[in-house]
Structure 1
Amino acid sequence: MIRAALAVAVALWATAAVPQTQDQPERASISLDQARVLARQALHAGDFELARQIAMGLVQADETDAYAYGILAAAHSRMNNPKLARAAVRLSYRHGDSPGAKFGAARTAASIAYQQERPTLSQAWLRIAAAHADTDKQKNLLASDYRNVRAANPLSFNLTVSVAPSDNVNNGTDNVLEVINGTYTQGLFGGATRALSGVVGVVDARLRYRLARDKTSQTNATARIYTRQIDLSASAKAAAPFVSNSDFASTFAEAGLEHQFAAGKEGNSVTLSGAVGASWSGGSRSYDFGKLSVRRGIRLSPADRLSFSGTAEKRFSTRSSLRDVDVFTLGTHYSHRRDNGDRVNLGLTVQDVSGAFTNADYRTASVRASYAFGKQVGPVKITTGVTFGYTDYDTYVLVSPVAGGREDQSLYGDVSFFFADYDFAGFAPTVQVRTGRRSSNVNRFEIGETTISLGIQSKF
């Protein structure tokens, strides 16, 4: 009955487009708005060919009709014609004459891409839709859609970009005279050993591709590239004229495999991973590496999680085998979510580095505590943190061995601001202020640093 009624309406619509003469009887007609209603009803009734025919008539009447192109896109998608569906939805988005129309077209495009098992394209369209979302309801819909598509997508990509003005881009000392164990050695610090100001740019890209998944386990291929580039200030170049930006730049890249499986009670898991890669510093390749890791995650309660991790890494120096090192790292992390939505995090990491080269044999430990406020303060979400570090070298050699070796202690504090209300396409700006000092019995390694990092972060 529905199809018959719609067919009659289409016939009326078609005859309305035929010019009438004085000798012809007056024919019934329907308006463009009525035709749009009929097209939508045909689509909802499952008569996709009929919806397509009405939409084509609308397009003939107005080739910039975004609504008609949206109907065409949905109809072609249900009729298994993905090429025409993608073309129609692009036209629907292009001709949308309001944020609401463009939001709807982009979300429809995301739905079509998802139905065609193209989740990455679907995520891209959801990002475009986010650029036109202007109500909380629309934003919440997108966040939910994005989470669902991301969970279904075997490919995930995470990108962190930051630009940070800093008063110490090279980890240089604030001291002028060299002092070791409280004794002046008559040495002087200058040039690249002194703290130099400038801008630090960081790009950290992580890629994960799901190879297999079942109810209790998942296997992924992983890749990461991290680069830290420096732009020295004019004053730094004047103070150290024989150094360049690349002298303080660093990059590393790795590729690996990761297997995660459930272990024990619900929410508990074990992750095994391995990776190989290379590191560059000062403009040249410094070492290659391979590493194996294990991580145990434990769900203590709905609000509490605890994890333990261990990593064994072998670094192969490109300069000399004497500089090869073995790195063993152990860590534990505790997270608690409070009733008001705030989150407390505590972490401990210890590391042992051993090698034939004297100054490449040491142990480190660091403790970090952070507090993330669940509620926004105005347009801002705030996270604060403090990190304490300790490094010990049993033996350390400069011109001659340092009596008692070398000991460093550091204390840094940071506060991060996430401006969630100032987003574009689901990305919002971040600002982090980090400051602290490192002390040492070898004052060449005593440094102070304050950095302001500007970056972007995804809201979903």
Structure 2
Amino acid sequence: MRAWIRWVLVALTLWAAPVAAQPVDLSLDDARLLARQAIAAGEFALAAEIARKLIEVNPDDRDAHLFLAVAAPQLGDADAGWEAGAKAWRLSETSAERYEAARVTALAAANGERFTLSTIWLRIALNDTPNEAARTQTLRDARTVARRNPWSTQLTFSIVPSNNINGGADDEEQRINGETDGGTLSEDAVALAGWRTALGVRTQYRFQENSQSRTAIGLQYTANRAHITDDVSVPDEALTSNYAELFLRHDRALENGLITGRLATGTLDYRNYRQSTEDVEFEKYDFVRIGVDRQFPLSDDLTMSLTAQRERLEYSAIGIGRVDRTFLSSTLSYQLDNNDRVSANLSFTNSDGEAESGNFTFDSWTLQASYAWAEPFGPVSLSVNGGLQISDYPKYSVFDAVEGGREDTTVFVGANVGFPEVEYFGFSPGVAITARTADSNISRFERDTFSVGFTLSSVF
């Protein structure tokens, strides 16, 4: 058969030549059939030559580009493969054709170890999967490629309407320990309704990996923007913030679990609104953070996670200066017989401000629990959570030192609703519902907050 295919290839060469030649009785469909047979027989060099001759005759021959996308990576030319596949995708006219071309292009890119490019094409393929089996297979392939890729990038987006986007007080009257001092809070210190939007990107490069450990370096950036719907003089810009972090992470497998070390440095900038002058001032703090996580099984169904973290913050604002914080956390997670998961977490934060920044000195305890259903309810996945937080600020001042300091008690509940059957290019929507109420001996920190956030996150 191979000799016969070569004979036809010679005929194709004469047929495609720009000079006059004896007509060859060979149709384009016959040539495409030969290319398919060559690929099936493992004759990738022949298939690539036939595909290129077909493209010379018609640069918009979708099938020819698809043949080249399959054959070229097998000949060591993965770039030519994914470029031909991308061309075939652009020439595709139906959903099934686009799915086929996207899959072939992703495979060609993966063969050339262009894993990020392969992931993009698998996302494109997900948008045209013909059935559930094809979707499941494409998701499985995407996760396999993601594990092989030393680069890992996640994008997140949320838009959250809330009755209190600035963490303001319930009313403008200022009270301390139940007594009214005659003062009123500024507009930006009272709860403002509106929308808060966050766009985040996290990318990391895994530069070391073996059977026992892996090490990665990465960047994280989050931009927060707000739109105030209340009729106030406070501009939207006053609620702007940006977070940037450079981090190093090392994971190591132990006999009974995993230990992770983390080192990070970065900055968070925010705005300070002065109502008297209606000026919005730029403020920021820089931070250095080091932490360690330890995860280990207590039984087949019960897992414990421990976290210890230390960070130093340097504020640009006058009167704050340096703040040192310690964070400790313990989590128990239990998987039920039906694969539902229930978790409980206890965490402690100690913050130590300099002498002139006593308002940043506090201890805070948080107890929370969550329950996640393994199986969706129809098209909806669901998890719920709730908890209690108690914070004590022994050196708090409002103009003068507050007798007994500041004490806050916050109760919160929430639910995360997902739509696993709804996705676009590998991203799935979700809804995060949060309600919290905070009591304090200082009215500025008494607040009721309710928000419904719409999120978009990757399914792999």
TM-score, reference length from structure 1: 0.90
For 1:192 and 1:84, the matched residues in 2 are separated by: 58
**Aligned residue number for residue 131 of structure 2:** 135
SS of 2:170's partner is coil
Query: Can you list the C-alpha shifts for 1:401-451, whole angstroms capped at 9, x where unaligned?
Result: 222111101111112221222211111111122112111111221001111
Distance change >3 Å, CA 176–CA 289, structure 1 → 2: closer
Q: What SS class does the counterpart of residue 397 from structure 2 fall into?
A: coil
2:196 matched to 1:206? no
8 A Cα contact 2:301 2:336, kept in partner: yes
How many pairs does the alignment contain? 447
Structure 2 unaligned runs (5+)? 272-280
Match for 1:263: what amino acid? L
Say whether the 8 Å CA contact 2:387–2:412 is kept in structure 1.
yes
The code of the aligned residue for 2:264 comes to A
User: What is the CA–CA distance in structure 2 between the aligned matches of 1:124 and 1:38, rounded to whole Å?
Assistant: 31
Deviation at 1:383, TM superposition (A): 1.7
Contact 1:198 1:236 (8 Å CA) reproduced = no
Name 1:262's counterpart in structure 2: 253
Cα drift, residue 38 of structure 1: 2.6
Alpha-carbon distance in structure 2 between the residues aligned to 1:359 and 1:11: 85
Partner of residue 147, structure 2: 151
Residue 278 of structure 1 contacts residue 285 of structure 1 at CA under 8 Å; is this kept in 2? no
Partner of 1:425: 425
Letter in 1 for 2:5: L
Amino acid at match of 1:408: D
Cα contact 1:196–1:236 (8 A) shared by 2? no
Call closer, same or farther: CA 1:416–1:322 in 2, change over 3 Å.
closer
Partner SS for 1:215:
coil
SS in structure 2 of the partner of residue 358 of structure 1: helix
Alpha carbons 2:16, 2:56 under 8 Å: kept? no
**1:3 corresponds to:** 2
Deviates more, 1:319-328 or 1:97-106: 319-328
State the distance in 1 between where 2:26 and 2:306 align: 69
Q: Which amino acid aligns with 1:252?
A: Y
Q: Give distance in 2, aligned partners of 1:127 and 1:370.
A: 31
Encode CA deviations 1:267-323: one digit per residue, 9 max, x unaligned: x11111111111211152422111111111113345432110101111122234853
Q: Secondary structure at the match of 1:335?
A: strand
2:400 alignment partner, SS class: coil
Give the partner amino acid of 1:147.
R
Distance 1:304 1:61, change over 3 A: farther
Bigger drift between 105-114 and 370-379 goes to 370-379
The Cα of 1:231 is off from its aligned counterpart by 1.2
Equivalent-residue separation in structure 2 for 1:113 and 1:263 (angstroms): 35
The aligned residue for residue 396 of structure 1 is 396
Which secondary structure does the structure 2 equivalent of 1:164 belong to?
strand
- The Cα shift of 1:33 comes to 4.6
Deviation of 1:5 (Å): 4.0
The residue type paired with residue 428 of structure 2 is A
| Cα shift at 1:227 | 2.6
Asked if residue 46 in structure 1 is aligned to residue 42 in structure 2, the reply is yes
- The Cα RMSD (Å) is 2.5
Query: Is the counterpart of residue 378 in structure 1 residue 374 in structure 2?
Result: no
**Secondary structure, in 3 states, of the residue corresponding to 1:291?**
strand
Instruction: Give distance in 1, aligned partners of 2:15 and 2:247.
Output: 65
Query: Could you say what secondary structure the match of 1:158 adopts?
Result: strand
- The residue that corresponds to 2:175 in the other structure is 179
Superposition pairs of residues 234-245 of structure 1, within 5 angstroms: 235-237=230-232, 241=233, 243-245=234-236
Q: Does the CA contact (< 8 Å) of 2:79 and 2:108 recur in 1?
A: no
- 1:114 match: 110
Q: CA deviation at 1:40?
A: 2.0
Q: How does 1:284-295 map to 2 (within 5 A)?
A: 284-295=282-293
Q: For 1:390, what is the secondary structure of its paired residue? A: strand
TM-score by length of 2: 0.90
Runs of 4+ aligned structure 1 residues displaced above 4 Å come to 8-18, 29-34, 60-63
Alpha-carbon distance, 1:83 to partner: 4.1
Matches within 5 A, 1:31-430: 32-59=28-55, 62-233=58-229, 235-237=230-232, 241=233, 243-265=234-256, 268-282=257-271, 284-320=282-318, 323-355=321-353, 356=355, 357-430=357-430
User: Deviations for 1:56-108, whole angstroms, at most 9, x for unmatched residues?
Assistant: 45445654332221111222222223443233212211111211111111111
CA distance in 2: counterparts of 1:451 and 1:236, whole angstroms: 19
Instruction: Identify if the C-alpha distance between structure 1 residues 383 and 261 changes in structure 2 by more than 3 Å, giving closer, same or farther.
Output: same
Of the structure 1 ranges 189-198 and 165-174, higher mean CA displacement relative to structure 2 is found in 189-198
Task: For 2:296, give the aligned amino acid.
Answer: I
- 1:151 is paired with a residue whose SS is helix
More displaced stretch, 129-138 vs 296-305: 296-305
**Can you list the C-alpha shifts for 1:97-149, whole angstroms capped at 9, x where unaligned?**
21111111111111111111111111111111111113111111111111111
When residues 387 and 202 of structure 1 are mapped into structure 2, their CA distance, relative to the original with a 3 A threshold, is farther
For residues 201 and 83 of structure 1, the distance between their equivalents in structure 2, rounded to whole angstroms, comes to: 38
Q: Which moved more, 1:83-92 or 1:391-400?
A: 83-92
C-alpha displacement of 1:194:
1.4
Separation in 1, partners of 2:286, 2:105: 44
When structure 1 is superposed on structure 2, of 301-310 and 199-208 the one drifting more is 301-310
Q: Structure 1 residues 58 and 301 mapped into 2: Cα distance closer, same or farther (>3 Å)?
A: farther
Larger CA deviation: 380-389 vs 161-170: 380-389
Equivalent residues of 1:323, 1:360 under 8 A apart: no
Q: Which amino acid in structure 2 is aligned with residue 119 of structure 1? A: F
- Percent identity of equivalent pairs: 29
1:250 Cα shift? 2.2
Query: Following the alignment from structure 1 to structure 2, what is the Cα–Cα distance between the partners of residues 171 and 249?
Result: 13
**Match of residue 457 from structure 2:** 457
Structure 1 position 362, deviation (Å): 0.5
Counterpart of 1:249, as a letter, is T
- Distance in 1 between the 2:193 and 2:83 partners? 51
Residue identity matched to 1:290? V
Q: How far, CA to CA, are the matches of 1:139 and 1:309 in structure 2?
A: 37
**Unmatched tracts of structure 1, length 5 or more:** 19-23
Contact 1:386 1:413 in 2 (8 A): yes
